[in-house]
Structure 1
């Protein structure tokens, strides 16, 4: 048995297309469009907390929260605290997900760890 490595003639080699560099602007534009199409997810835990704590956030405010989360993501924030007039939300901007929710009264006596940004929404 011959264990030497043999060269394959070019006519038998696989012909893969050359990888071309993508223009940076097109990639950025696609990423921005893709991120805008993402919708905010609410984890099962957060959904339960919103219901049991009787926290109601209207559609307009959810859109504002989502916009601010996207802005925070662009600035490198991965886990954030979102403070609104009615609630405090712990969110993952990486996953675009609300992790948990507290009412403002309950959140006033807490220490929040493992976050690297805070979003304050006054409206």
Structure 2
């Protein structure tokens, strides 16, 4: 019988630095910051065009109503809505939920004869 010699070779895996608790905390803080930015309520803006329409059509919306619209638009955005039709007692608004901006406004009687396109959500306020 021939003698067989087996040499043992120690395999060294790639050198990895251990993850420190400071790195974990930093990553967690970054995640929480992104989560906060994604869920924080953004103030609803009114475009110049929409503002002109509100004035021309004598549409008055109270601060409380604007706050309700803003809250509902934020909720719609969190559900994936990009562009919405907001129906109120006195007005119909086209709102970019994605940008939190009122695009245009009309009174409800005018809205009855309109066809709304490129809308992926509707908010009805009573």
User: Shared fold by TM > 0.5?
Assistant: yes
Instruction: Please state if 1:88 is matched with 2:84.
Output: no
- The count of residues paired between Structure 1 and Structure 2 equals 101
Kindly state the Cα deviation for residue 39 of structure 1 after the two structures are TM-superposed: 1.4
Q: Could you list the runs of 4 or more consecutive aligned residues of structure 1 that deviate by over 2 angstroms after TM superposition?
A: 19-25, 29-32
Q: 2:115 aligns with which of 111, 114, 117?
A: 111
1:15-94 matches, cutoff 5 A = 22-23=27-28, 26=32, 27-32=34-39, 35-36=40-41, 38-94=42-98
CA RMSD after TM alignment: 1.9
Distance in 1 of aligned mates of 2:47 and 2:27: 35
Distance in 1 of aligned mates of 2:122 and 2:95: 10
Gaps of 5+ in 1: 1-18
The alignment's TM-score, normalised by the length of structure 1, stands at: 0.76
Kindly state the Cα deviation for residue 28 of structure 1 after the two structures are TM-superposed: 1.7
Gaps of 5+ in 2: 1-22
